[in-house]
A = this chain, B = another copy of it.
Amino acid sequence: MILDRVNMPDDLKQLSINELNTLADEIRELIIKKVNTTGGHLGPNLGIVEATIAMHYVFNCPKDKIVFDVSHQCYPHKILTGRKEGFTNPEKYNIFTGYTAPEESACDLFKVGHTSTSVSLAAGVAKARDLAGRDENVLALIGDGSLSGGEAYEGLNNAAVLNSNIIIVINDNDMSIAENAGGLYQNLKLLRDTKGKAELNFFKSLGFEYYYEDKGNDIQAMVKAFKKVKDTNKPTVLHIKTLKGCGLKCAETNKEAYHWILPGTLDKVSNTPAGENYNTITTDFILKKAKEDKNIIAISPATPGAYGFTKEFREKLGKQYTDTGIAEEHAVAYASALAKQGAKPVLAVMSSFIQRTYDQLSQDLCLNKSPVTLLIHWGAISGADCTHLGTFDIPLISNIPNMVYLAPTCKEEYLRMLEWSLEQNEHPVGIRVPFGNFISTGIKDGTDYSKLNKFKITQSGEKIAIIGAGNFYHLGLKVSKAVEQRFGFKPTVINPLFLTGVDEDMLDNLKNRHEIVITLEDGCLSGGFGEKISRYYGNSDMKVLNFGADKEFTDRVPVNELYQRYHLNTDLILDDIQKIIKAKV
């Protein structure tokens, strides 16, 4: 293998173009095999193999500095910068993260997993270089899909006036995760169609020197292209056309399905989802409602697949569906305006990505009390990498005035909350879509959620009250059983339903027959739900124990290890309870 002779970027410089081409084939094969084993980003990495080889052939990392946007496309870079064993040796498949990570290599500048940040970061890197009086090249490698994000534009607008070397490589494969959305993409198409010659040029309008390379998957062409821009002293855009999924037929043909894959995807004939789940009941619900009411509209900021907004679903909705592209801020403001004008928007966002919209949730949405339905997906403690944690949405959302943030514990509650949210006209409503096992109680929920912050006692007991929010309601039930077994009395169990306030009457009543309240939440404790209960009981004799995640970025820590760390299992919870009981005796 040629790769045997390549450990670091410098080794590339000894190879012929033919050898580099062979190397590309080898890298491509390794990526396909590895990703099909571990899961991960497939299409974006297959598309960028040649450009990455050429980039490292022309530039000198780590002296020259490359910032990868969202780093969905950093696998070839990892292979070429001292980390190939993470791809050649199946036993080491998991030793490196799926994203750039400075602790792994001096060639990685930042931990990155959210989109549209690379240009801003590269601008800072370039400015630091200028202040220090050095002269290395600074590059940002950003996909066309990431260009719709506001942070990317803010970065471009500022990078354009840096007045020194900064090279923005636009990796244009004509796809976001799903199709691109937005006016910019017409301009990218025009530029591709004219091989970069069109006068109307988004990048030039911002002041960049602009180069186009049509053959983004041709190493020789890319070497030439990179040489042209190397050591420029002006803010420069190099726009390259690549093929997403390049070299793997299915990934070239069905770009959305093979953007990110689960382990074993390539071995299967089809990927039929198994039965009912929270995604299917959501899309069924929306389709039914949208047929009845033309003012219903579903919105996704470029991640429809994550919540089952399939191509078929999108096509059925037609004009009643908007993909905003990667543009969460716009998505929230747009939804707010739609609601204010009588439409019924349902905006689905991942917990980790709703982070981009605090100000829009506050100002555009909640200050204006627009009745938007916000579905927050993947909000949970998990073994995810540090850039995709779903533990911060409760602190983020629940402390914003006027917001109603609901935590269903099963299918029936979830559907009732959806229904109620669409019926009412008073509140911005977030629903934390249950994460984990699909649970159906079979008991129809008829709750009127307009009575805000009304918790539900699902088991009347004594001494201890267990408030289990959302996903962790079921943990609450288990704790209850364990309490009964170990201590010999039946505790009270409460499903709070609401995360944005406390049921003061109920909490006051609990004082009568209870001495300890425990709260369980599937997210970060700091700023979260349980602290509101602690504050409420601060002036009373009630003891309160809050269980949830610590304030920390965890990185691919197995979820059971996290549960252990945070005392989120019955034994450890009971031990903590026992300490209080002992202290009191």
Contacts and interface: CB of A to CB of B under 8 A. Distances in A.
A535 B545 CA distance: 8
Contact of A330 (B102, B120, B187, B552): B120
Nearest to A188: B205
Interface in A109-134: 109-114, 117, 120-125, 127-132
A551 B401 contact: yes
A366 B580 CA distance: 35
A128 B200 contact: no
Counting chain B CB atoms within 10 Å of each CB, the highest count among A200, A324, A341, A532 belongs to A341
Interface string A466-509: 00000000000000000000000000000000000000000000
B150 A151 contact: yes
Interface in A424-479: none
B158 A334 contact: yes
Interface stretch (A48-56, A212-220, A264-272, A356-364): A356-364
Given A338-B127, A343-B131, A121 B534 contact: no
Interface residues of A, number: 121
A154 B160 contact: no
A132 B293 CA distance: 10
A367 B161 CA distance: 28
Contacts of A540: 543
A10 interface: no
A159 to B, nearest CB: 8
A530 B539 contact: no
A576 to B, nearest CB: 8
Interface stretch (A80-88, A390-398, A562-570): A390-398
Counting chain B CB atoms within 10 Å of each CB, the highest count among A130, A131, A342 belongs to A131
B399 A131 contact: no
A99 to B, nearest CB: 10
B402 A553 contact: yes
A558 interface: no
Contacts of A153: 150, 153-154
A111 B368 contact: yes
A207 B156 CA distance: 19
A355 interface: yes
A535 B527 contact: no
A295 B333 contact: no
Given A120-B337, A131-B319, A387 B363 contact: yes
Given A121-B336, A539-B543, A161 B132 contact: no
A329 B160 contact: no
Interface string A352-390: 010110111011101110000000000000000011000
Nearest to A341: B128
Contacts of A537: 534, 538
Contact of A337 (B123, B130, B360, B400): B123
A256 to B, nearest CB: 19
Interface of A: 67, 102, 109-114, 117, 120-125, 127-132, 148-161, 181-184, 186-187, 199-202, 204-208, 235, 294-295, 297, 319-320, 322, 324-325, 327, 329-330, 333-343, 345, 353, 355-356, 358-360, 362-364, 366-368, 386-387, 392, 395-396, 398-402, 524-528, 530-532, 534-535, 537-541, 543-546, 551-553, 576, 579-580
